[in-house]
Amino acid sequence: MRRLLIVSNRLPTTVQERKGELHLEPSVGGLATGLSSWYKSRDSIWIGWPGITGKKIKREKDILAKLLSENCHPVSITQHDVEAYYHGICNRTIWPLFHHFPLYTEYSEGFWQAYERVNTAFANVVAGIAKPNDIIWIHDYHLMLLPKLLRERLPKATMGFFLHIPFPSFEIFRLLPWRNQILEGLLGADLVGFHTYDYAGHFLDSVHRILGYEVAMGQVTAADRVVRADAFPMGINYDLFSNAVQDSKTHAERKRFHKKLEDCRVILSVDRLDYTKGIPQRLEAFSAFLDRNSKFLRKVILVLLVVPSRTRVGHYIQLKKQLDGLVGEINGKYGTIGWMPVWYLYRSLPFHSLAALYSLADVALVTPLRDGMNLVAKEYTATKMDGKGVLILSETAGAAQELGEAIIINANNQEEIVQALEKALEMPEQEQIERNRIMQKRLRRYDVVQWANEFMDKLLSTKKLQQEMEEKTLSYEMQRKLASDFQESNKALLLLD
């Protein structure tokens, strides 16, 4: 099997600094959790930023040795570049724009220069490690220049790129001052993958309209190569979530929660704190639901689990304040002694606590305004061993294209969310089971390993196609030689295939 180099902004293991000491901890998030067992089962190396600056990690030789023993190769980023690259262009420019929030988008030449510098730093590390037969798989919006930078150094490399967030429509994407560089950067890969066909279509549209390359049937004919773009909806580690339900730790957690929840029905909301996730709109819809459904007062609880995220960016700080206010308002307005309609947890939860909440929740309310995929919707469905539970899912989450049996809503339509909650809480058990069984079958079949394997197969077939086309296409030198031979000959027989 060929060696695999996975390249992403963060390593699957993060270096945390606590009380002046460095510790290694598993990174959270779908990519790291989902792919960790798959990548360990192959001959692979993960290259990424370990979460602290290069100077500190070089000082701590043990930590560096431990990372390397886990096949994790760190990329050094200076403190200045962490600001302008990660907290700057990644979180304040690309993230909002690609999620269709142009008014939140900041354009700064300084950010852009840091993006170029950091992508070049990644290229230096990867090019230093890569061998001719390796497969390179680059992930996400932090590294969109990397495929081209690597192609310049490793022209023959087999290289794929996967974007975990939406690719916006042309009208939004064209707002970016560095749109050409981003597109050219991505086209350095052989295969560019997205969660949905819509995102792949948007990318191809922009490639055609901005760069003028010929695009047909998911294929771009760039200056001298063919590049493919396609949809690969990311799956989850299905067995991890479905098996967790039987685990004794999950049982214990569920018992603990049940005791506190008493006989209340549970609506669950789980996200990172992010304005794209539509959390205030969700709370307002829950409030409207309580207003209209007095029979559910003291009978239902919204468990609002919010993971702190990007806590230094202005829009996130404002959002946190807004959520605190809304939760207080709802609990103040409807709560009674002994019943709090919203349980608000602002923290990351250990895996078994999260699995316990998923498995006991009657309803999962997943209403992002825009989301590349949304793994929470899939994880919730995977834990429903008895088939009971209802998923309410926003149509602007990539996951909605696969989970059509959920109650699909428009996250900006409060009335629709209220009706969806009413429907979910009244849905007959048989219907819940039927809907969940269909979705579970799909999620089990197309899990994260299948997703990764399918991406790899397509990447290798793209490489093969390129080679076949190279053999069929005459090089410039060959064309010149043929033309001069033809002119010099008295008689010629042309056989054209």
* Binding test (CB under 6 A) with ligand ADQ, winner from 2, 26, 28, 479: 28
- Which residue lies nearer to ligand ADQ by CB, 157 or 376? 376
CB 95 within 8 A of CB 141: yes
Work out how close the CB of 463 gets to ligand ADQ at its nearest, in angstroms, rounded to a whole number. 24
Work out how close the CB of 211 gets to ligand ADQ at its nearest, in angstroms, rounded to a whole number. 26
Question: Which pair of structure tokens corresponds to residue 129?
Answer: 């490690």
Give, to the nearest 10 degrees, the angle between helix 146-153 and helix 109-129. Answer: 40
Spatial separation of the C-alpha atoms in residues 191 and 187, rounded to whole Å: 8
Q: Is 231 in the site for ligand ADQ (CB under 6 A)?
A: no
Spatial separation of the C-alpha atoms in residues 25 and 23, rounded to whole Å: 7
Work out how close the CB of 278 gets to ligand ADQ at its nearest, in angstroms, rounded to a whole number. 12
Q: Is 211 in the site for ligand ADQ (CB under 6 A)?
A: no
Q: Which helix (H) or strand (E) holds 193?
A: strand 191-194
Least Cα distance to 456 among 59, 5, 18, 21 occurs for 5
Q: Is 448 in the site for ligand ADQ (CB under 6 A)?
A: no
* Binding test (CB under 6 A) with ligand ADQ, winner from 9, 374, 414, 436: 374
Q: Is 253 in the site for ligand ADQ (CB under 6 A)?
A: no
Q: Is 163 in the site for ligand ADQ (CB under 6 A)?
A: no
Lay out the site mask for ligand ADQ across 319-348 (x = CB under 6 A, - = otherwise): -----------------------------x
Distances (CA, A) of 309 to 275, 312, 348, 469: 11, 9, 10, 46
Question: Which pair of structure tokens corresponds to residue 366?
Answer: 């997943």
- Which residue lies nearer to ligand ADQ by CB, 57 or 456? 456
Point out the residues that are catalytic. 497
Sign of CA dihedral 399, 401, 403, 409: positive
Lay out the site mask for ligand ADQ across 268-307 (x = CB under 6 A, - = otherwise): --x-x--------------------------------x-x
Q: Is 193 in the site for ligand ADQ (CB under 6 A)?
A: no
* DSSP letter (8 states) at residue 169: P
Q: Is 402 in the site for ligand ADQ (CB under 6 A)?
A: no
* Binding test (CB under 6 A) with ligand ADQ, winner from 47, 90, 150, 234: 234
- Which residue lies nearer to ligand ADQ by CB, 84 or 165? 165
DSSP 346-387: ES---HHHHHHHHHH-SEEEE--SSBS--HHHHHHHHT-TTS
Q: Which helix (H) or strand (E) holds 65?
A: helix 61-69
Least Cα distance to 233 among 259, 257, 199, 208 occurs for 199
Residues that bind ligand ADQ (CB under 6 A): 28-31, 164-165, 234, 270, 272, 305, 307, 348-349, 354, 371-376, 379
